[in-house]
Chain A
Amino acid sequence: MSVKYDIGLLVELAAAALASRPGAAPGLAVVVQKAHRTHPLLEAAGATAYVQLRPVLHQDFHLTPGGQPVLKGRVAAAGDPESAADLVSRASLLVMQVPDEAAAVAAMPELEAAGRLCLFHGPARAAGWARLSRQVRGAELTPIEVSGARLLISREAVDLLGGRQMLMPHGLPDLAARVARQLPQHLQVELLHPGQGVRLRMRIDPLQLVAAGTDTLAHNITKEGRALFNTRGLGALTLPVDGRGSLQLLVRNVRDRIDHLTVAVGDAVVPVQRIDYTEFGAVLTLPPTPVAADRDALMFLSLPPRAVPRDGFCDVGGVTQTLDLA
């Protein structure tokens, strides 16, 4: 299934291209959003922090160079407005998913668009646009419409990306190719048959995606430096790019076949397309599972009890997300 002109993918690529551009001074990228999302390409490009517009329910992790994974800095704006404002004020790149829900709009931190690269995006009719417009009045922002969604991007950011055309549907493959050049270990772009678009392969460290609902699991993940399932074989991953594209997961240390595992996103069960048993573990192929803008992009996996070792943990050893751009 091909991905068309998609706001989630566009923002992921544009933000990653800006954060990883050659010659850029090290800076902090801050993502302001309501739902639980993660931006693996942006995180690969540099230091990234998240401001959440509703309470943070899941713990997830970012990689420390040469060290153990650390809990991602997700600050709940309503509970800790000072820290949220501090992060936003120190951001050199600000990405905001403009919310619609009243409580989330009320939690939006004060911000200043001047002096930093900004990407504001969300449904064109989201209530948060009105508040944002007041905050960024006078800022030089370029509007772009993307299939019912709106993107407001700093003019300087547009220039750094190579012009507005890079953000248009026909520019997306070039934008992806640029990110692939800047972050070759994390993104590969393959040309499909002539006229059939390109295929993006995102190779993501599973530690960037794994989520823990309990302190115990969070501790074990930190200590072991692996994307673990808990002792009962339950695991959770944050889906990149709003669940667009298909996923391949390598599930390691399983002690039995996992044909009957359950995978769910939201209240829907995800049909596993294929499981290959290799010497490295079981490789799951999952279809795209698009997640609505206001929902947490979390995928839950439940392994059959017999597959879970008694003296250790199963873990996700590798994640590849594949998106075909039409």
Chain B
Amino acid sequence: MSLRPRCLLVCFNRLVPANQGNSRRIMQLVRFYKARGFEVDLLYHNEEGFDVGLADALAQEFGRVVVVRSSARKLIGPEHVCRIEDWYDSGLDAAARQMHLQRGYKLVHANYIWYSPVFANFGSGVIKVLDTHDMFGERRLKYLAVGMQPQWFSCPLPEEDSALRSADVALAIQKEEAGAFAARGHRNILYLPYVEPALRPFVRSQAKRPLTFGYLGSGNDWNVLSMNDLLRQIDARPQRFDHPIVVAGGVTKSVNDAQQVVKLGFVQELHAFYDAIDIALNPMIGGTGLKIKTVEPLCYGRPVLSTQPGVEGVGHLWQLPVFADNREFAAYMVERFAGAKAEATLTELLAQAQATRERLDAEYEQQTGRFTTWLRARLGQRQAA
């Protein structure tokens, strides 16, 4: 029996329970590597806390876990310009080198471009994979375009380019992002979508309740702005919309009160939310990165109605209705779910959701297949060398 190749995963995220989109994306990759025979170690840059529960959960998931306290400066310059050197914590270097000496990694996987400097601690014999999660080059402009204050990390394009070049392969979570990176001359980009296993079939709920809509989101500005915009547009329609809309997650406290809105707040288990609704809503008016809430309902057997920004990244696979804006979205809801039409519309949406899910699965298979082939080839080259 030969030793399994080892992979070092570097991230700042609280991975268990994976109740945030980025954590779930990372755990998707952890499952991917494990399924291909890797033993995965974790270098956790502790920015989201560390406690008994997390320690035990991580110990079960990873071969070895090293926790480094964060001393990243995370400076944000004038006009919201950030630099990778100000966001990367060089305190990670010594720990990464020591782990590599002791464990002999074949692959190092870093998340987010400002963690790309960690690659410098590994020689050419180690495969370097960067999961971008989002496009951070001039990300601030997307906020400014809709009159919002830029949030989190945004850097000049050359900094992002440099980070992408430092990896053997950079993973883009959306096809459009992969295309945009490639258009900037990068040839090491692989599109790897976020898809989780389907847990529920697409069937009408047997629960005795009115047809129920739902929105689950964190409390970020994009979500608050988007949901309130949809509610405003529904309210502005001359016809009444009589179906309940369940709002859950951090966004709840900032969503405007409305007659049809049922505020659920934080939910412990995702399936509890999705079992309580029939159709998921995603009224995004903008934002960056993959909107997990677009594909997540498709794991729980629920169709999704979305605006155009909401389906960015999966638009080429999408078989469900997509709306240019929330005015059009509200019009559809009021019109198509009025009276007896509602059941027929739901049946139609369930079939479209099923078709979308099948396309997503097929594309995921194809892209993971490409990544697997690439990895095997690189591992073979490294071993031969």
Contacts and interface: CB of A to CB of B under 8 A. Distances in A.
Given A70-B64, A82-B1, A223 B52 contact: yes
B14 to A, nearest CB: 15
Interface stretch (B65-73, B252-260, B268-276): B65-73
A82 B2 contact: yes
A65 B104 contact: no
Interface residues on A, range: 20 to 34
A23 interface: no
Given A70-B64, A70-B66, A27 B1 contact: no
A67 B101 contact: no
Interface string A60-72: 0000111110110
Given A65-B98, A223-B52, A90 B104 contact: yes
Nearest to A86: B3
Interface string A7-48: 000000000000000000011100000000000000000110
B102 interface: yes
Interface centre among A67, A73, A85 (most CB of B within 10 A): A67
A222 B68 contact: no
Interface in A48-99: 49, 64-68, 70-71, 73, 82-83, 85-86, 90
B137 to A, nearest CB: 29
A66 B95 contact: yes
Nearest to A73: B102
A219 interface: yes
Contact of A47 (B51, B65, B98): B98
Contact of A83 (B3, B56, B91, B94): B3
Nearest to A30: B102
B2 A64 contact: no
A325 to B, nearest CB: 31
B236 interface: no
A16 B381 CA distance: 36
Interface string B44-58: 000000111001100
Interface residues of B, number: 25
A140 B230 CA distance: 79
Interface in B77-103: 91-92, 94-95, 97-98, 101-103
A86 B4 CA distance: 11
Contacts of B103: 73
Contacts of B101: 26-28, 46-47, 90
Nearest to B67: A68
Contacts of B55: 219, 222-223
A67 B66 contact: yes
Contact of B68 (A64, A82, A85): A64
A68 B42 CA distance: 13
A109 to B, nearest CB: 12
Nearest to A84: B3
A73 B103 CA distance: 9
Given A28-B101, A82-B1, A86-B3, A66 B94 contact: yes
A312 to B, nearest CB: 16
Interface centre among A28, A46, A49 (most CB of B within 10 A): A28
Contacts of A64: 66-68, 95, 98
A294 B245 CA distance: 71
Contacts of B97: 26, 47
A66 B98 contact: no
Given A27-B101, A47-B97, A70-B65, 15 more contacts: A64-B66, A64-B98, A65-B95, A65-B98, A66-B69, A68-B67, A68-B68, A71-B64, A73-B64, A73-B103, A83-B3, A86-B104, A90-B101, A219-B56, A223-B52
21 contacts: A28-B101, A47-B101, A64-B67, A64-B95, A64-B98, A65-B68, A66-B69, A66-B92, A66-B94, A67-B69, A68-B67, A70-B66, A73-B64, A73-B103, A82-B2, A83-B3, A86-B104, A90-B101, A219-B56, A222-B55, A223-B52
